[in-house]
Structure formats: C-alpha cells, structure tokens
Chain A
Amino acid sequence: MKLKFPAIVAAATMLAAPAMADLVVPNMSYRTGPYAANGIPYADGFSDYFTLLNERDGGIGGQIVQVPECETAYNTEKGIECYEALKSQNPLVLNPLSTGITYQLIPKIGVDGISLYTPGYGRTSAKDGTVFEWVFNAPANYWDGASVAVKHILDQEGGDLSGKKIALVYHNSAYGKEPIRTLQELSEKHGFDLMELPVDAPGQEQKSQWLQIRREKPDYVIMYAWGVMNQVAIQEAVNVRFPMDHFIGIWWSGSENDVKPAGAGADGYKSLTFHGVGQDYPLYADMKQYVHDAGKASGAGDQMGNVLYSRGAYAALVIAEAIAKAQELAGTAEINAAQMRDGFEGLDITAERMVELGLPDFGAPIKLSCENHGGDGLGRIQQWDATAGQWNLITDFIEPDAEILDALVKEDSQAYAAEAGLTPRCN
C-alpha cells in the first residue's frame, strides 16, 4: 500500500501536468461569478483556437499546445493564486483577461520571466517595450479606444467638435478611469466639453447618471463599462431616449450580452472593436469541422461566432503566431518563455497572413518590436442591428491620435520605470 500511493500520486500528476515538450498556454478563465457570462465565450474561443491548431495542424511547429485552464472568477486574489499554480507548468504566456490581475502580475512576471499578453485591456503604457519588457497589449489599448471613438465622432460631425459636449460614463475603477486623461487632452485639442460620470460597481443602479445626461444633453456618450453596468446603461439610455447612434462603448461594452436585454431599444448602439464580427470567415468552417463537429469544443460549444468568442480566438491567434515566430527565431520548436518573448517582439502579422489564416480583414496588421509592444492601436466601429440580432462593422480601421497618445504613453511608462527602478532597454 505504501508503494501504491506515491505511484497513484505520480500518475495523477503526470495526467494533470502537460508533457515536458508541449507548448503550455494557460487559459486564465472565469466561468463563474458576476462576469461569467462574458468570461465563458472568451475562454471558449481561446481554447477552441488551440484545439483547432492541434487537431488540424498537429499543433504549432509539430508541438501540441496544452491549454490548462484556471478559474479566476475575475477575482484578483484568485488570479494571483492561478498564476502561482500555473507557474510550475512553465507557461509561455498568460492572458488573464482582467486589468486588476494584470496590474498585480506585472511586477511578478518580470522576475519570473513569463510574458503577459493583454489585448485591449491591462496597463495601457505597457505598450512601451523599453520599460515593460514582458508585457504585450497589441493590437489596441484603452487610450487607443478613446481616441478612435473621438475620431469617429469627429467624422460624424464634419471634423469640428468645438462647442460639443461628450459625456464619459465609466466604471468607477482603475479600468474605467483609464481614458479620462486621454479624453481630457483630446477635449483641449478639439474644443469639446468633457462630462465625467462615474458609476460604482457593479452598476445596477444608474438613475442619477442618466438623469444628469437627460438634463445636460451631451451630444455623445462614450462608455467604459463591464458586466451588468453595460446592460443597465444601455437600458437607461433607451429609457431617457438618448439617441443610440450617439452612444459609443469601448470594446468591453460591445458584446451581444450587453445589447440583447434592452431588446429593440438597443438598435443603433455603437461600440468599438479591434476585430471582425460574425462567422463569415473561412476559419470558422475549420473551427466547425475540426472542433465543434468533432465534439472537442470547450464548454457547451454554443458560443462560436459571438463577439467575445471571436475575441478569445483572436487572442489565441496572436499568441500562436508569436509562438511560430519564436520557433523560427530560436531554430527549435521546443521554445521557452524567454524565446516566446522574442517571438512577440518579432511578431509581424500582415494582411496577407490574416488571409492565409482564414480571417481576411478580421484584424489590422500587427507589427511589434522591442520598443513597440502595443501595435498601431487601430479600431473599428460596430453597430447593433436589433432586428437581425447582429453587429455590423460600419467603419474601416481607424488610427488613433498618435500625436497625443505617444506622449501620454511615454510619460506614464517613464513614471513607472522611475518608481520601479528600471533602466530602459532596446538601445
């Protein structure tokens, strides 16, 4: 009996842990808790993309990708516990899908030498690779989003925003406050008034904010929200008859979950996105054949094609391309975390490559470097069609205002470097 027990433990450990030669890309998911409705499709898309590569292509460079899942429940403490547990499995990169967890992990990953990939969330100034060696946030960040929204409004208003009023309705947290400085700078540049309206989490009660909007009649509302705050804000906007085509959410306020509860009233609501919508891409045919029809889909297998599923799959795609680049640079398929970081810095996903991957025009080209960990920050506007029950892309990719943003990113990253005692790299 004494001999049997360690043998069982060893066997169980071997089953639980990925084989040494495999590429390990954990899925830090949240399938429970207040944000599960958003966490589930993202986690499914992320896992399913790697399942597709494993089933169709035999992995990446002949190496199977293992995607161990760890439940964070969108809770920072649990996220840190996941990180500590996953660390022993030699992960190549982590994508925690939480700005709070990202902020906590940034100092740790520098010490442990593991990359963080935070597309569209996390610390914006991590775009500066000279300071944030291990963090990548391409293709776009929160400040890019604010700038793209203002550019779209400029376009709607014939290029002149002087005398206009834009309200920012935001989640009263580090995430929600991210665009404030950018919008303040942009309001000075373009001459619009900025109205700031914080909403305390979780955001089920927003009557005060929307009464204020009704009284002060801003021309546009930009929203940075998450979870139930999205659904309530869109419903309140419908209630006060705010014109939905003048209401623009960040990409975390633009999934089917956010608009469906408001029914027909949500028709015309806009949000930012940094990727395509729907399933009309060749990749999804493969996803159906090799993953869903084969019974290998993650979760209930009922999320394919929705916004957050696509975003999860897109995050996996960027990571997969970085792995391939890392293998190419290292000259071996069995890469380690340091080589993975090099892969990210050498990443170059062109429009032609997106066609090869079965996602033509799905995402803007991404070219990273030692200095640039955030890409070009391009975003598009999607609009909800309540009758058809689908999002439609209504603009091409829009460039953010680099003149304003580059300086802000530099200022913030330099402050972090001074605080953390870091010497800028890439010289």
Chain B
Amino acid sequence: MDQLIFASEVMLNGLMTGVMYALVALGFVLIFKASGVFNYAQGVLALFAALTLVGIQNGQVPFAHLINAAFGTSLHHFGWTVPSVLAIALTALVMVGLAFLIEKLVLQHLVGQEPIILFMATIGMAYFLEGLGDVMWGADIKTLDVGLPQGISESIETVTDSWFGYGYFIDRLDIWATVIAALLVAALVAFAQYTKQGRAMRAVADDHQAALSVGISLRFIWVMVWSIAGFVALVAGIMWGTKSGVQFSLSLIALKALPVLMLGGFTSIPGAIVGGLIIGVGEKLFEFSIGPMVGGATENWFAYVLALLFLVFRPQGLFGERIIERV
C-alpha cells in the first residue's frame, strides 16, 4: 500500500515536471509549425529572456563590463529596481525586438533555403546569443524572484495526510507552472483560431506559397511567431530560473524538450503538453520503480527511450501531422 501511495506521489510530481518540459517544447513547436525550422536556439532564448528580465528588474547596466573597459567608468547599476510585472512587459518587448532583428538580419536572407540551412542558422544564433547574454548581463548566477511561491504546498500535504496517512509533496512553483501553462496554451489556441493574424500564421504553416499568393506577409508572420516563441521562452525561463537561478545552464533545458517533441509531434501545441506529461510521468515512474535496481539516474536516457518507442509506432508523433507524399 505504501508503495502505491509513493508511486501516486511520484506520478503527480511527474505530471508537474512534464508541464515544465512542455513549456520549453511549446516554443519549438510554434516556430516549427509556422516555418518548418527546428529552432536550435530556443533554449538560449529562454536564457537570454531570463537574463534580460533579471537585468531590467535589478536596474543593471547592460554591457557594463564592456563600457567600463572602454571608457574607464565604473558603471554597474542605474540605482533603481523595476517591479516584476513591468520588468516582464519590458522583457517581452525586448524579445519582440530580438525577433525583428533575427528576421531582418538572418531569416530574410535565407528565404527559400533548405530547412537544414535554416537549422544551421539557428545553431549560429544560439552561440551568438549565449555570448551576447554573457557580455550584456555578465556570467554570474542571478537570483530570479518575480513573486512566485516555492516549496511544499502545506494544504495538499495536510489533506493527503488525513486521507492516506502520508502527506504528498507538491511544489507550489509546479502548481503555478501548470496554471500558467494552461493559460498560455488556451491563449495560443484562441489566438490561432480566432484572430486574423493567427489564421494567417496557420495559413503560412499549411502552405507558404499559397499564403503568399493571398497577400499574407511572410516577414510579418515570422517576426510574430519568433516574438511569441520569445515570450514562451520568457515564461519557461522564469519557471526554470526561479528554481535554479538564472545561469548558462538554463539554455540546456532544451535537451529536456527534445523527447517531448519527438513524442508529441513537432507541429502540435496540445502535443507538446501531452508529450510533456507522458515524458514527465514516464521518467519519474521508471526512476521510482526500476531506478534503484540499476543504480539510478535513469531519467535522462529513459525519456529518449520512451520517445523512440512512440516514434517506432507513430513517426509523426502522437499529434503530429501525418506525412503523406504522393508521387
């Protein structure tokens, strides 16, 4: 009985962790869906967004080290702090600006190129943004606090303790992540279904040429999609950065999104969520049940095994578009 209770606690935590993975995967899906580009830089976008958010919040002078070295000044901070909501809004604007620059300086010049060329371009962008983030905000680990609560939910612990004689652990940050992810997905779906821009985005996703022929601006759609992906990256950066502090490793969370994408499909927003949940629960339950027999630390590789298993039976992923090629 105890094992069953523990397993259900692990499963619940797996679901919550899956939501955190899905938040990262969503950014990949948005860009892939609209442009067929696998954006290698999505993890770095999350890092860059979180660095910018903390920098704005703390009133940090961007490029301070560079400015001080060039002009012999000693600038570090503006001497003010910015409220979290305003800082998030300003960071979102920075991400829109970044999307515009990416389109203007990179994507515009690669229209019509093979997807692999665009993929290579995103690799280049990833390394550039890593360096830019470092130079702009410094490489130290920054504490991120936008007021999200962390730690055990005592009410859930008390209730489950009265029911099962064992208080479940659920992290309040994970609960918030779940609520925010649900709102984000609802907003994205509503945007895609009910707005003119959203419908244009879907048209581009379906067929670039046809969309162009009816007057949809590919450039505008790309800026818009990269902006939305930048905002999703900001949300993912806030959630993961609250946990670990904002640091370079945030960019590596992309690795946790890959099996989610393989499983859920590269083109489905609900697929990213369901894929995240399956990966989260699967890896946690495997670690709980089999991990101790094989020395533990199974989660990283088991997530990929699970994704590969799904791939064998459904190459397009659970919710991906079926690939039909007529000759």
Residues of A within 8 A of B (CB): 31-37, 40, 172, 196-200, 202, 204-205, 207-209, 211, 214-215, 227-228, 231-232, 235, 238-241, 257, 260-261, 263, 265, 300, 302
CB of B244 within 8 A of CB of A208, answer: no
Given A207-B17, A227-B249, A232-B244: A300 in contact with B141 (beta carbons within 8 A): no
Given A40-B139, A257-B140, A261-B141: A198 in contact with B295 (beta carbons within 8 A): yes
CB of B240 within 8 A of CB of A204, answer: yes
Q: In the complex, which residues of chain A have a beta carbon less than 8 angstroms from the beta carbon of B253? A: 204
Q: How far is the CB of B222 from chain A (nearest CB, A)?
A: 30
Closest partner residue, chain A, to B72 (CB atom): A295
Q: How far is the CB of B297 from chain A (nearest CB, A)?
A: 4
B10 contacts A by Cβ under 8 Å: yes
List B residues 109-152 near A (Cβ within 8 Å). Answer: 130-131, 134, 138-141, 143-145, 150-152
CB of A208 within 8 A of CB of B284, answer: yes
B300 contacts A by Cβ under 8 Å: yes
Q: In the complex, which residues of chain A have a beta carbon less than 8 angstroms from the beta carbon of B244? A: 204, 228, 231-232, 235, 261
CB of B138 within 8 A of CB of A300, answer: yes
Can you report 9 A-B residue pairs in the complex whose CB atoms are below 8 A from each other?
Answer: A33-B248, A36-B248, A200-B299, A208-B287, A211-B9, A232-B243, A235-B243, A235-B244, A239-B152
Give which listed residue, B9, B131, B297, contacts A172 with CB less than 8 A. B297
Closest partner residue, chain A, to B292 (CB atom): A212
Q: In the complex, which residues of chain A have a beta carbon less than 8 angstroms from the beta carbon of B248? A: 33-37
CB of A34 within 8 A of CB of B252, answer: yes
Q: In the complex, which residues of chain B have a beta carbon less than 8 angstroms from the beta carbon of A207? A: 13, 17, 171, 284
CB of A31 within 8 A of CB of B141, answer: no
Q: In the complex, which residues of chain B have a beta carbon less than 8 angstroms from the beta carbon of A199? A: 297
Give which listed residue, A204, A209, A211, contacts B249 with CB less than 8 A. A204
Give which listed residue, B76, B284, B300, contacts A200 with CB less than 8 A. B300
CB of B299 within 8 A of CB of A208, answer: yes
Q: In the complex, which residues of chain B have a beta carbon less than 8 angstroms from the beta carbon of A265? A: 151
CA–CA, A239 and B150, complex, Å: 7
Given A208-B299, A260-B245: A37 in contact with B291 (beta carbons within 8 A): no
**A-B contacts besides A207-B171, A211-B13, A261-B245, 4 pairs, CB < 8 Å:** A32-B134, A34-B252, A36-B134, A300-B65
Q: In the complex, which residues of chain A have a beta carbon less than 8 angstroms from the beta carbon of B160? A: none
Q: In the complex, which residues of chain B have a beta carbon less than 8 angstroms from the beta carbon of A208? A: 10, 284, 287-288, 291, 299
- Bitwise, B40-59 to A at CB < 8 A (1) or not (0) is 00000000000000000000
Give which listed residue, A34, A198, A215, contacts B297 with CB less than 8 A. A198
Q: How far is the CB of B180 from chain A (nearest CB, A)?
A: 18
CB of A238 within 8 A of CB of B151, answer: yes
B33 contacts A by Cβ under 8 Å: no
B197 contacts A by Cβ under 8 Å: no
CA–CA, A102 and B256, complex, Å: 30
Q: How far is the CB of B225 from chain A (nearest CB, A)?
A: 27
Q: In the complex, which residues of chain A have a beta carbon less than 8 angstroms from the beta carbon of B240? A: 204
Q: In the complex, which residues of chain A have a beta carbon less than 8 angstroms from the beta carbon of B140? A: 37, 40, 257
Q: In the complex, which residues of chain A have a beta carbon less than 8 angstroms from the beta carbon of B130? A: 32
Q: How far is the CB of A203 from chain B (nearest CB, A)?
A: 8
CB of A202 within 8 A of CB of B249, answer: yes
CB of A205 within 8 A of CB of B17, answer: yes
CB of B256 within 8 A of CB of A211, answer: no
Q: In the complex, which residues of chain A have a beta carbon less than 8 angstroms from the beta carbon of B83? A: none
B247 contacts A by Cβ under 8 Å: yes
B165 contacts A by Cβ under 8 Å: no
B6 contacts A by Cβ under 8 Å: yes
Q: How far is the CB of B218 from chain A (nearest CB, A)?
A: 35
Residue of A37, A196, A200 with most chain B CB atoms under a 10 A cut-off: A37
List B residues 283-297 near A (Cβ within 8 Å). Answer: 284, 287-288, 291, 295-297
B176 contacts A by Cβ under 8 Å: no
CB of A37 within 8 A of CB of B141, answer: yes
CB of B6 within 8 A of CB of A261, answer: no
B32 contacts A by Cβ under 8 Å: no
CB of A239 within 8 A of CB of B249, answer: no
List B residues 48-94 near A (Cβ within 8 Å). Answer: 65, 68, 76
Q: In the complex, which residues of chain B have a beta carbon less than 8 angstroms from the beta carbon of A232? A: 243-244
CA–CA, A257 and B299, complex, Å: 26
CB of A196 within 8 A of CB of B141, answer: no
Q: In the complex, which residues of chain B have a beta carbon less than 8 angstroms from the beta carbon of A302? A: 76
CA–CA, A240 and B141, complex, Å: 23
List B residues 230-244 near A (Cβ within 8 Å). Answer: 240, 243-244
Closest partner residue, chain B, to A263 (CB atom): B143
Q: How far is the CB of A404 from chain B (nearest CB, A)?
A: 23
CA–CA, A318 and B140, complex, Å: 27
B310 contacts A by Cβ under 8 Å: no
Closest partner residue, chain B, to A196 (CB atom): B296
Q: How far is the CB of B276 from chain A (nearest CB, A)?
A: 12
Closest partner residue, chain B, to A215 (CB atom): B6
Closest partner residue, chain B, to A232 (CB atom): B244
CA–CA, A389 and B6, complex, Å: 37
Q: In the complex, which residues of chain B have a beta carbon less than 8 angstroms from the beta carbon of A263? A: 143, 145
Q: How far is the CB of B136 from chain A (nearest CB, A)?
A: 13
Q: How far is the CB of B254 from chain A (nearest CB, A)?
A: 11
CB of B6 within 8 A of CB of A260, answer: no
CB of A204 within 8 A of CB of B252, answer: yes
CA–CA, A32 and B145, complex, Å: 25
Closest partner residue, chain A, to B10 (CB atom): A211
CA–CA, A145 and B312, complex, Å: 47
4 A-B pairs with the lowest CB-CB distances in the bound complex, closest first: A261-B245, A228-B249, A198-B297, A36-B139
CA–CA, A196 and B240, complex, Å: 26
Give which listed residue, B9, B134, B139, B245, contacts A231 with CB less than 8 A. B245
CA–CA, A232 and B10, complex, Å: 18
Q: In the complex, which residues of chain B have a beta carbon less than 8 angstroms from the beta carbon of A32? A: 130-131, 134, 139
Closest partner residue, chain B, to A36 (CB atom): B139
CA–CA, A240 and B240, complex, Å: 18
Given A200-B299, A202-B252: A260 in contact with B143 (beta carbons within 8 A): yes
Q: In the complex, which residues of chain B have a beta carbon less than 8 angstroms from the beta carbon of A35? A: 248
Q: In the complex, which residues of chain A have a beta carbon less than 8 angstroms from the beta carbon of B295? A: 196, 198
Closest partner residue, chain B, to A265 (CB atom): B151
CB of B256 within 8 A of CB of A240, answer: no
Q: In the complex, which residues of chain A have a beta carbon less than 8 angstroms from the beta carbon of B9? A: 211
CB of B152 within 8 A of CB of A240, answer: yes
Residue of A172, A196, A232, A300 with most chain B CB atoms under a 10 A cut-off: A300
CA–CA, A265 and B138, complex, Å: 25
Residue of A202, A209, A238, A241 with most chain B CB atoms under a 10 A cut-off: A202
